[in-house]
Structure 1
Amino acid sequence: MTLLLLGLFLFLGTHSVRIFANDWANAQTKKRGPSFWKISYTLVSLIGFFLIIKGYAHAQESRVLVWSPPFWAGHLTGLLTLLSFILLASSKRPKNLIYASLKHPMIIAVKIWALAHLLANGTLAAMVLFGSFLVWAILDFRSSRQRDALQGNEDLDYVTTANWQGTFPAICIGVLTWGFFAFYLHRVLIGVQPFMR
């Protein structure tokens, strides 16, 4: 569990700088340059991500069960993660209605992904991992909306030009990526086959 906690601290810590110390982050970027900041940010995030993977796998070996998810939870998780993948794809596609409506679909995708996995996993390690990401996503979404309000960042041009031509490809990419991950890559990387419990 120590490795998992350390990984979460490093990974979510770097991704929380804009939540708790936005002025400090801006000052560091100006002082050391954007390249140095991005490289440092990426390096610490990668180390944290690696520790999360190793720590979670190690913690799951002991399988401290907190609660037993119902049989349908895995299927609900699969459907919720489908929505999560569509939102994630929408954060990268220009002129789509989903981004124009939600403003921060990537953070919402993390919220749904974390909540979905909490529903299907009852071990202590899973609750620590996915619970941490859920709390982070809630705080980050709130912080992002506050920054939007302060900066007047409503992106009206993006909203007015959003259309279904930009939205449909995002949905297709999300569905296809989800299918590949759910029916193949999840088993290869995580060792669990969704929908097969």
Structure 2
Amino acid sequence: MTYLLAGLVLFFGPHLFSAFRSRAPGSDLRTKMGYGPYMGLYSLLTIAGFVLIIYGYGAMRPSAVIWVPPVWLKHVNMLFQLLALPILVAAYMPAGHIKKTLKHPMLVAVKLWALGHLLANGELNSIILFGSFLAYGVIDRIAVKKRGDNGPPADLKPNVMGDVLSVVVGLGVYAAIAFWLHPILFGVPAMPA
């Protein structure tokens, strides 16, 4: 459990610092350090954290079972992932209706992904991992709103091609993970039995 917790601290520490850091002129650490060094340190810490999360999560297997979710919650998770992946892709596409409506699609996708996995998994390592991501998504959304970051401007003309690409690529990634990659990458089938 130590590796998983250390990984979560290393991964979320820079993310939370970034969410709450001062952006006032003269106080912004990113400006003081310079964009390159700041992002280099940020990336180094989060990558190290991500590696520790993967190792720590796997090292906790088999993990204590806190609760056994009913099979139907696994189906709910599949639906959440079907929604989350196109939304996640929309964060990186030209701003279409998805990005304009959701304002911060990556945070919405992370929350859907984490909540779905929390509902479908009752092992301690899963609760710690997915609970942390869900908590982060909620905290960061509050921070974003507090600093007045409302996503794309209200007068932005949505790029429909951004939406089309988000859905097509997101569904393609969903299919690849659900039917092929999940067992390879995570050691368990994604599809409910």
Q: TM class, shorter-chain normalised?
A: over 0.9
TM-score by length of 1: 0.90
Once superposed, which parts of structure 1, at least 4 consecutive aligned residues long, lie more than 6 Å away?
Answer: none
Question: How far 1:94 moved relative to its partner?
Answer: 0.6
- Residue 74 of structure 2 is matched in structure 1 by 74
Q: Equivalents in 1 of 2:151, 2:73: separation in Å?
A: 38
Question: How far 1:3 moved relative to its partner?
Answer: 0.4
Pairwise CA RMSD of aligned residues?
1.9
Question: How far 1:27 moved relative to its partner?
Answer: 2.5
Q: Equivalents in 2 of 1:7, 1:60: separation in Å?
A: 16
Counterparts of 1:35-50 in structure 2, within 5 Å, are 35-50=36-51
Counterparts of 1:1-197 in structure 2, within 5 Å, are 1-23=1-23, 27-61=28-62, 63-148=63-148, 155-158=153-156, 161-197=157-193
Question: If each structure's helix is expressed as a fraction of its own residues, which one has the higher value?
Answer: 1
Aligned-pair identity (%): 36
Equivalenced residue count is 192
CA contact (8 A) 1:148 1:154 kept: no
Question: How far 1:196 moved relative to its partner?
Answer: 4.2
- The residue type paired with residue 78 of structure 1 is M
- The residue type paired with residue 172 of structure 1 is V
Question: How far 1:194 moved relative to its partner?
Answer: 1.1
Question: How far 1:156 moved relative to its partner?
Answer: 3.1
Cα pair distance change 1:76/1:153, threshold 3 Å: closer
Q: Equivalents in 2 of 1:100, 1:78: separation in Å?
A: 25
Which moved further from structure 2: 64-73 or 12-21?
A: 12-21
Name stretches of at least 5 consecutive residues in structure 2 with no aligned partner.
Answer: none
Question: How far 1:164 moved relative to its partner?
Answer: 2.9
Cα pair distance change 1:16/1:171, threshold 3 Å: same
Q: Equivalents in 2 of 1:163, 1:129: separation in Å?
A: 35
CA contact (8 A) 2:69 2:120 kept: yes
